[in-house]
Amino acid sequence: MRTTLLRTTALVAASLIAGSAAAQQAATTPSEGGAPPSWDVLMRGRVHTPTPTTAAITSADLKTRLYIFADDSMQGRLLATAGNVKGVEYIASEVKRMGLLPMGDNGTYFQAVNVIDRKFDPASRLVVGTTEFAPWTDFALRDQGSAARSLNGVQAIFGGTWGDSSSLIDPAATAGKLVVLRVNAAGVTQGSGGGVNRGIATRHFANAAGIAVVSLEAMPAQMIQIFQQPNQLLKDAADPELPSFLYVSKRVGEALLGANIDSAKVGATGSTVTSTPRFMESPTEYPARNVVALIRGSDPKLRDEYVAIGAHNDHIGWSTRPVAHDSIYVVNHLFRAGGADDRPPQLDAAQQAQVNALIADIRKRSNGASARPDSIYNGADDDGSGSVSALEIAQYFAAQKVKPKRSLLFVWHVGEEAGLYGSEWYTDHPTVPRESIVAQLNMDMIGRGASADNTGTTKEGGRTHGNPDYVQLVGSRRLSTELGDLAETVNHGEKRPLAFDYSMDANGHPQNIYCRSDHYEYARYGIPIIFFTTGGHADYHQVTDEPQYIDYDRMARVAQYVADLATRVANLDHRPNVDKPKPDPHGQCVQ
């Protein structure tokens, strides 16, 4: 599932949890609700002997597939890397073996997605007047796309203190200028983005030539290092024209304003920029590809309509700083139950002693094996679980003598973690007529949901937890009441119905799940969707999201249910009725 993605996620050894001021603000008590798991799970084997998959949807099949797809050799399946290529080719080889029809480019199973590498151009400079400033020590440039406005010949203007709306300059006065923003110290330490939400600031000062946030000294060195990494962007139509965006040091801020940043008056103009730092772009070393395959429907009149079934084939890669697997597992399961959705904990002495004692016992019982260095974000649940479940569903339908009336369109999207790139590309460049897709069923993280798992939060901020039958549904009635009702009807007919949790689907929910996975790219075009997930957990976007921690029986139940729902939708004598307003396909998603 998509979150704020850092191409290189630096981990800190759990036995020495430390870091930024933001980490020091984190909760220092065990995560509320839900008992920690039995630590015996850390003794589970990491190797599984594959067995031939069958026509039925089974936990054994899913286990065989996931141990292949989420293996360390896939290197975390990061977008446009060798590991992702390997994972994508595994999926394509499986659907070819099953006999599905290729629906990618030029008669293949692959649809190329135009992702490019963008990185800071070291030959470019930030020059104010005649003074040149150094990248990463004086300023950090953020990528606003190829149409970011030039700052050459642009005059600086002081825009006030971000976070204090009463102090901010009227945006109309900033047109064509470089807006310099002050941020109070507390605002910087509470967030990783320099105290400013870049997207909100960009929209607020949409007509400015640029935005310079004076907060560089207060940002963690680790964050500045991340800013230096190459960025991968989806390149389709021309990028929108946006202000350039920089984090700058106090020295640069005062050079821009010609005045002390702490005493500058809102609206005061300053110096002129004479050289603009910029990004350069190039093709990625490895391709970014969706996998697209089809099972043709049996009804001559309805086979040209499609029920789409999807998952995402990528994850977030690897770290250059290995950690002890057991340490990070114990700390997160005790003190960071939401994984990457929670801030890193800062342990007090008693908590550190508790962790140390647990780890000592675990290592004694595992003869030290649990302490293995770990740097791969395997993504077994996110979204290995959805990807292999889609394969299992495909084999289930491929083996049926009589196919559903409508065709079944399987799409394994790439680049979900980077910003829903693959699903955005597919829905903008569909390989079947877009209006012929009657529904899209998206699976992302369907392999957990135990009572010990923190599966999410309520809109009010309370923790939610799983149960033996748990699954979340998001978006099921946001476009089509009929599709949401049908989902309930099919579930009631299952041998063992699932327990639906709709709490994450609440309007205005701060986690914004409706906008965070591939289904939304279909919904923006008015295609009814349902998002299926068993929710979050302490291993979310952590190196501990590995195949041995997956609940394969539950995953098989969810996959079978999705297959049964797809059958019902595909056999309807009409397409699901869209009775809710359609969003602007090029607007911003709002839950």
Question: Which residue range is the domain that position 334 belongs to?
Answer: 14-113+288-570
| Residue that is written with structure tokens 């290189």 in the block | 8
Residue 210 contacts residue 241 (beta carbons within 8 Å): no
Asked whether the predicted pLDDT for residue 182 surpasses 80, the reply is: yes
Asked whether the predicted pLDDT for residue 29 surpasses 90, the reply is: no
Q: Give the pLDDT of residue 95.
A: 98
Contacts of 416 (CB under 8 A, 6+ apart): 1, 2, 312, 314, 383, 422, 423, 444, 517, 518
3-state secondary structure (DSSP) of residue 492: helix
Q: Are residues 101 and 137 in the same domain?
A: no
Q: Give the pLDDT of residue 28.
A: 41
Q: Give the pLDDT of residue 189.
A: 41
Residue 271, token pair as written in the block:
């110096």
Residue 220 contacts residue 124 (beta carbons within 8 Å): no
Q: Are residues 478 and 496 in the same domain?
A: yes
Asked whether the predicted pLDDT for residue 574 surpasses 70, the reply is: yes
Residue 337 contacts residue 31 (beta carbons within 8 Å): yes
Residues 315-345 have pLDDT tens digits of 999 998 999 999 999 999 999 999 999 999 9
Q: Are residues 130 and 109 in the same domain?
A: no
Residue 265, token pair as written in the block:
């008056």
Q: Looking at the domain assignment, is residue 82 inside a domain?
A: yes
Contacts of 498 (CB under 8 A, 6+ apart): 469, 470, 471, 491, 557, 558, 561
Q: Work out the average pLDDT over 29-51.
A: 79
Q: Are residues 165 and 181 in the same domain?
A: yes
Q: What's 146's DSSP letter?
A: T
Q: Looking at the domain assignment, is residue 236 inside a domain?
A: yes
Q: Work out the average pLDDT over 33-56.
A: 87
What is the widest separation between alpha-carbon atoms in the chain?
A: 78
β-pairing, 306-312 vs 131-133, is unpaired
Number of Cα atoms under 13 Å in the Cβ half of residue 46: 14
Residues 417-450 have pLDDT tens digits of 999 999 999 999 999 999 999 999 999 999 999 9
CATH classification of the domain holding 204 = 3.50.30.30
Q: Work out the average pLDDT over 357-374.
A: 96
Residue 469 contacts residue 499 (beta carbons within 8 Å): yes
Q: Give the pLDDT of residue 194.
A: 65
| Residue that is written with structure tokens 């700083």 in the block | 321
Residue 85's H or E segment, with its range, is helix 82-98
CATH classification of the domain holding 335 = 3.40.630.10
Compute φ and ψ for 19, nearest 5 degrees. Answer: 140, -135
Q: Tell me what the pLDDT averaged over the chain comes to.
A: 92
Q: Looking at the domain assignment, is residue 174 inside a domain?
A: yes
**Residue 459: what residue type?**
K
Asked whether the predicted pLDDT for residue 284 surpasses 80, the reply is: yes
In the listed set 253, 283, 313, which residue is the last one of a domain according to the structure? 283
Least reliable range by pLDDT among 26-30, 194-198, 536-540: 26-30
Q: Give the pLDDT of residue 176.
A: 98
Asked whether the predicted pLDDT for residue 279 surpasses 50, the reply is: yes
Packing angle of the helix pair 552-570, 386-398 (nearest 10 deg): 50
Q: Work out the average pLDDT over 489-497.
A: 98
User: What's the CA gap between 139 and 341, in Å, rounded?
Assistant: 28
| Residue that is written with structure tokens 């508790």 in the block | 354
Q: Looking at the domain assignment, is residue 473 inside a domain?
A: yes
Least reliable range by pLDDT among 32-36, 57-61, 303-307, 542-546: 32-36
Q: Are residues 192 and 329 in the same domain?
A: no
Q: Are residues 430 and 537 in the same domain?
A: yes
Asked whether the predicted pLDDT for residue 181 surpasses 90, the reply is: yes
Residues 53-74 have pLDDT tens digits of 999 999 999 999 999 999 999 9
Residue 416, token pair as written in the block:
């979900």
- The total domain count for the chain is 2
Q: Are residues 87 and 230 in the same domain?
A: no
Compute φ and ψ for 421, nearest 5 degrees. Answer: -60, -50
Residue 514 contacts residue 589 (beta carbons within 8 Å): yes
